[in-house]
């Protein structure tokens, strides 16, 4: 790096002073050598800033400085778009605090989608991100090139979807008697919370009043699903629709294996969840019992997208049956789509494992789906992601059992909710000791950045060592 | 099958009458077409006979006919060498009932080891059991040939080990003041229970009085480990020791990959368990608290072989900490060695998954251990066994949560204990409704026969379809 700073990118960077240049050099260096590590650093830095802002006295409604454990927990929960809270978002934080949380959600959601998309792009195109970045540096034209286009697409698409959601929800809040300002703020906040699968709620009475409200819940379901399916799928579908005029083939035939696998698995899991929750909660006097039939159906639909992974429940999760918790545990662990705001081991990972077992049961040599072969390296990657996810959950549950007197049912639920950045809670999170809050914070961070960066790091590394037959691999993790 | 019965095997079968011939033809037929299905049928038939015997009034101490659910549960628990009980073995059943249970354990233990060894032999030698049996039928010499030798070896080895254990335990029971008859019966019963990892106890005060008794516990630990490591390993080691004089190389160098993997994984898990249990229970006033240090160490060692899968605990499992239960859950799920009296997904399955992840993390193309390559089909098989095991456990826990008011902590423990035929209990099994007893019975049966026959069926089927490079595969499941 012996070049003079003045020659870099000309005018735009000309005003930067010496220390900033060196910081930029350092970031460049990390990005080139280990994009996964850069992702971790960026997330940690954003969390540190949000924690510092939430630690200001002005951030709380009472004007008292928030305890460090709560400020950190809320910051991690916002930036990792989880939605688990140790204090009530609507009453504990001031307007400033809520804005900080919302900005954390927005940056976290964008960060997750762009970083995962970039890493996924690098993997799926079989072009190492490292070389890509090196090339961009050397040609000195559009820094990061295609990656920049991708980030723009992510930003534009998310803003459009959030704006649409706000336009639908704003009048709803007006019709239930809120002032224009309040309705706008609630509509805006909830739209970001929904699309980013953030799970935060600023409504003073929570979401339970909306349990039978189709106007509120339908946008919630659709917005959650779109946010959770993952940006590669959204891009793939929109590209196939845009190019429709040039061909006669059905649109879905041009979708990638990853898109098909993700959509089918997501839909199957959502349908299974809705049925399972409806069956188990139908007669529970503390959840579905008092509701009308159409409300029970709507609540089941909301619960079907909840574990993957909005965390926005319209019924009291703490009063659900043990069996429902257990089913939700499994579904939260699977999570949403790759490079989405959802967490978990991802639906494509789950799909690959199921396909591997089906192939094994049939005695097939190759694992096939939608006319494509899935290589054994992909299976190994899926096994690694699932196994390490299970290990994270296991260790987290063990630690939480050790530092609290809570039982496995609620501990496992909260741990998986944190790992998969879901944000559903049986109610124990606010009662945890500080050590428990730190354990869940670590799980949210590891769950959010871990599966994503680990899968990318492993996939990128593997690529360099082996020359294999060309076959298509879905994004894992 | 147009041959006249008289020409088959000459004298030995000559006395058989028409219906028996047809039954034998039918068994032959099933064995040829599906050895795994034969294993299931044999197990079900033995369980039916033991259930019928335990349903006789003479089988209980009170002379009252035992409820069907308890007779079935005890029969399944005995034949599947689990040791979970709905009624106290020592007080509820009569001497006749206890003998029936012991015979069930012996037949079940032998059945598991021989069937699994036969299936494992068929898989590991790459010779389909089907062809082998066909060949034996056609040449009409030693029916089943090598398989017969294997069964003899299993029977002889188990009888020798059980006799040695009895000879060690008999004097122990004498020295604590029992009569010769009682000491002999207790020594004999416990020896079979230990080596077959059966988990049944006929001592009126249970095993807690022996918590600090090295004379009783050391044979228990060694006997459990030998029974749980699996017959292929025992055979491999004894063969390598017998052939020692012919070569100069260290004995362990001639061991198969399966033997090395099983031993290393078993030892590592046992050591980790002992340390984990000691750390978590050291100050628990209801378990280790009242014990001397040497007793705590001994109890930790006993607990280290318990989850894999003797089920013979010298401390009150129901009083262990939640964290200890959770660790035990994971260890029970892994279980013992393939073709052993232990259950679970098996240590070799676990080892292959870990090795796959290590290879993935390193970016290696091949999975290697002890200088051998493990093929991707083996990984797929391991994934299938682990995934289906987890599914069985998940469905079982869900059903038990649905039919009882118990919480996940104790339900998961009992379900994994049943699936992995461990027999450790938090104490809820006797309190289950009949539906719960049937669920656990089904889990014991599926856990005992399922992973074993499924793995063999899958492996055998796969073999037929693909010609692959010669590499070594450990036994899975
Ligand atoms: K969430
Ligand atoms: K057992």
Report ipTM for this prediction.
Answer: 0.78
Distances (CA, A) of A455 to A104, A372, A390: 25, 21, 15
Task: Report chain A's mean pLDDT, rounded to a whole number.
Answer: 77
- The CA distance from A232 to A261, in Å, is 12
Average confidence (pLDDT) over A306-314: 75
pLDDT of A143 strictly over 70: no
Give B311 Cα–ligand 2 centroid separation in angstroms.
5
pLDDT of A118 strictly over 80: no
Distances (CA, A) of A166 to A74, A193, A211: 24, 11, 19
Q: Do A376 and B380 touch (CB under 8 A)?
A: yes
Q: Which of A280-284, A301-305, B119-123, B388-392 has the highest mean pLDDT?
A: B388-392
Buried b (16+ CB within 10 A) or exposed e, B164-191: ebbebbbebbbeeebeeeebbbbbbbbb
Q: Which ligand is nearest to the CA of A196?
A: 1
Lowest mean pLDDT among A456-470, B247-261, B445-459: A456-470
pLDDT of B136 strictly over 60: no
The token pair that represents B233 in the structure block? 């390993």
For A374, phi and psi rounded to 5 degrees? -110, 120
For B22, phi and psi rounded to 5 degrees? -65, -40
pLDDT of A93 strictly over 50: yes
Indicate the pLDDT class of residue B72, thresholds 50, 70 and 90: very high
Q: What is the largest CA-CA distance in chain A?
A: 72
For B149, phi and psi rounded to 5 degrees? -60, -45
| B50 sits in which H/E element | helix B35-54
Residue of A nearest to B396 (CA): A323
Q: Give CA B170 to chain center in angstroms.
A: 24
Proportion of chain B above pLDDT 90, given as a percent: 8
Q: Token match 């079968």: residue? A: B13
* Torsion, CA B132, CA B135, CA B140, CA B143, rounded to 10: 0
Half-sphere exposure of A221 (CA within 13 A, CB side): 22
Position A114 scores a pLDDT of 72
Indicate the pLDDT class of residue A415, thresholds 50, 70 and 90: very high
The token pair that represents B281 in the structure block? 């229970």
Indicate the pLDDT class of residue A7, thresholds 50, 70 and 90: very low
SS3 B367: strand
Helix-helix angle B376-403:B451-465, to 10 degrees: 150
Position A200 scores a pLDDT of 83
Average confidence (pLDDT) over A31-44: 70
Indicate the pLDDT class of residue B284, thresholds 50, 70 and 90: confident
Q: Using a CB-CB distance cutoff of 8 angstroms, which residues of chain A are in contact with residue B357?
A: 380, 383-384, 387-388
DSSP secondary structure code for residue A16 in this structure: -
Find out whether B258 and B233 touch, Cβ atoms under 8 Å. yes
Average confidence (pLDDT) over B212-239: 82
Indicate the pLDDT class of residue B134, thresholds 50, 70 and 90: very low
Q: Which ligand is nearest to the CA of A342?
A: 1
* Torsion, CA B432, CA B437, CA B442, CA B448, rounded to 10: 80
* Torsion, CA B195, CA B200, CA B201, CA B207, rounded to 10: 70
Position B133 scores a pLDDT of 41
Q: How many inter-chain contacts (A to B, CB under 8 Å) are there?
A: 114
How big is chain B, counted in residues? 477
For A188, phi and psi rounded to 5 degrees? -65, -50
A460 touches chain B (CB under 8 A): no
Indicate the pLDDT class of residue B139, thresholds 50, 70 and 90: very low
Distance from CA of A222 to the nearest CA of B (A): 29
pLDDT of A169 strictly over 50: yes
Best mutation target among A323, A354, A367, A405 (most B Cβ atoms within 10 Å) is A323
A384 touches chain B (CB under 8 A): yes
Position A249 scores a pLDDT of 60
Task: Report chain B's mean pLDDT, rounded to a whole number.
Answer: 77
- The CA distance from B205 to A77, in Å, is 52
Find out whether B413 and B424 touch, Cβ atoms under 8 Å. yes
Tell me which residue of A75, A44, A58 sits closest to A200, measured CA to CA.
A75
For A368, phi and psi rounded to 5 degrees? -125, 145
Dihedral class, residue B249 (left if φ above 0, else alpha if ψ from -120 to 50, else beta): beta
Neighbour-count burial of A392, counting CB atoms closer than 10 A to its CB (0-12 exposed, 13-18 middle, 19+ buried): buried
Find out whether A172 and A215 touch, Cβ atoms under 8 Å. yes
Find out whether B333 and B413 touch, Cβ atoms under 8 Å. no
Indicate the pLDDT class of residue A394, thresholds 50, 70 and 90: very high
Of B376, B387, B401, the CB nearest to A322: B401
- The CA distance from A476 to A337, in Å, is 9
- The CA distance from A300 to B214, in Å, is 57
Tell me which residue of A246, A411, A420, A282 sits closest to A343, measured CA to CA.
A420
SS3 A324: helix
The token pair that represents B130 in the structure block? 């089907």
Tell me which residue of B312, B259, B319, B258 sits closest to B288, measured CA to CA.
B319
Comparing B182 with A251, the larger pLDDT belongs to B182
| A367 sits in which H/E element | strand A367-369
The residue ranges of every structural domain in chain A are: 17-243+251-465
Q: Using a CB-CB distance cutoff of 8 angstroms, which residues of chain B are in contact with residue A376?
A: 376, 379-380
Q: Using a CB-CB distance cutoff of 8 angstroms, which residues of chain A are in contact with residue B384?
A: 356-357, 360-361
Q: Do A323 and B398 touch (CB under 8 A)?
A: yes
Position B51 scores a pLDDT of 93
Instruction: Report strand pairing: A372-374 vs A367-369.
Output: antiparallel
B365 touches chain A (CB under 8 A): yes
Best mutation target among A325, A358, A397, A401 (most B Cβ atoms within 10 Å) is A401
Position B473 scores a pLDDT of 35
- The CA distance from B34 to A291, in Å, is 52
A355 touches chain B (CB under 8 A): no
Which residues pair with residue B368 across a beta bridge?
Answer: B373
Task: Report the first-to-last Cα separation within chain A, whole angstroms.
Answer: 35
Model pLDDT for residues A57-88, shown as the tens digit of each residue: 988 888 888 899 999 999 999 988 888 888 88
Average confidence (pLDDT) over B119-146: 45
Best mutation target among A36, A283, A326, A399 (most B Cβ atoms within 10 Å) is A326
Sign of the CA dihedral with B167 first, then B170, B171, and B172 last? positive
Q: Which of B149-153, B429-433, B462-466 has the highest mean pLDDT?
A: B429-433
Position A3 scores a pLDDT of 39
Which residues pair with residue A369 across a beta bridge?
Answer: A372
A373 touches chain B (CB under 8 A): no
SS3 B337: coil
Position B6 scores a pLDDT of 41
User: Cα-atom radius of gyration of chain A, to the nearest Å?
Assistant: 22
Distance from CA of B212 to the nearest CA of A (A): 26
Tell me which residue of A448, A441, A256, A424 sits closest to A339, measured CA to CA.
A448
């Amino acid at each position: 790096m012996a070049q003079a700073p003045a020659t870099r990118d000309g005018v735009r960077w000309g005003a930067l002073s010496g220390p900033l240049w060196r910081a930029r050099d350092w970031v460049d260096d990390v990005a080139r050598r280990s994009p996964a590590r850069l992702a971790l650093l960026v997330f940690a830095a954003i969390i540190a800033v949000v924690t510092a802002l939430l630690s200001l006295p002005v951030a709380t409604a009472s004007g008292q400085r928030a305890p460090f454990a709560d400020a950190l927990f809320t910051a991690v929960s916002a930036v990792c778009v989880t939605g688990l809270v140790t204090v009530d978002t609507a009453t504990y934080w001031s307007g400033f605090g809520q804005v900080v949380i919302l900005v954390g959600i927005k940056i976290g959601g964008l960060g997750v989608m762009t970083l995962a998309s970039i890493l996924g792009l690098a993997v799926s195109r079989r072009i190492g991100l490292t070389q890509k970045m090196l090339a961009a540096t050397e040609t000195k034209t559009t820094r990061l090139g295609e990656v920049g286009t991708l980030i723009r697409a992510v930003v534009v698409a998310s803003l459009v979807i959030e704006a649409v959601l706000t336009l639908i929800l704003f009048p709803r809040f007006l019709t239930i008697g809120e002032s224009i300002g309040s309705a706008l703020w609630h509509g805006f906040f909830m739209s970001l919370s929904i699309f980013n699968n953030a799970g935060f709620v600023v409504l003073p009475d929570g979401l339970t009043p909306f349990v039978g409200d189709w106007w509120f819940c339908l946008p919630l379901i659709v917005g959650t699903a779109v946010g959770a399916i993952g940006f590669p799928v959204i891009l793939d579908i929109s590209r196939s629709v845009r190019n429709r005029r040039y061909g006669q083939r059905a649109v879905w035939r041009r979708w990638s294996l990853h898109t098909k696998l993700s959509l089918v698995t997501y839909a199957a899991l959502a349908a299974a969840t809705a049925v399972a929750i409806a069956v188990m909660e139908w007669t529970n006097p503390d959840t579905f019992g008092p509701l009308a039939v159409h409300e029970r159906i709507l609540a089941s639909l909301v619960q079907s997208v909840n574990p993957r992974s909005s965390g926005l429940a319209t019924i009291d999760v703490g009063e659900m049956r043990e069996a429902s918790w257990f089913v939700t545990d499994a579904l939260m662990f699977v999570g949403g789509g790759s490079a989405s705001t959802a967490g978990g081991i991802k639906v494509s990972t789950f799909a690959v494992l199921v396909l591997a077992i089906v192939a094994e049961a049939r005695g097939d040599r190759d694992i096939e789906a939608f006319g494509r072969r899935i290589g054994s390296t992909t299976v190994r990657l899926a096994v690694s992601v699932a196994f390490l996810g299970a290990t994270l959950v296991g260790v987290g549950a063990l630690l939480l059992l050790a530092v609290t007197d809570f039982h496995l049912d609620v501990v496992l639920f909260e741990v998986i909710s944190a790992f998969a950045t879901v944000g559903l809670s049986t109610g124990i999170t606010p009662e945890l000791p500080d050590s428990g809050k730190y354990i869940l914070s670590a799980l949210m961070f590891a769950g959010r950045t871990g599966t994503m960066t680990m899968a990318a790091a492993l996939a990128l590394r593997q690529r360099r060592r082996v020359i294999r037959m060309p076959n298509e691999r879905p994004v894992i993790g």
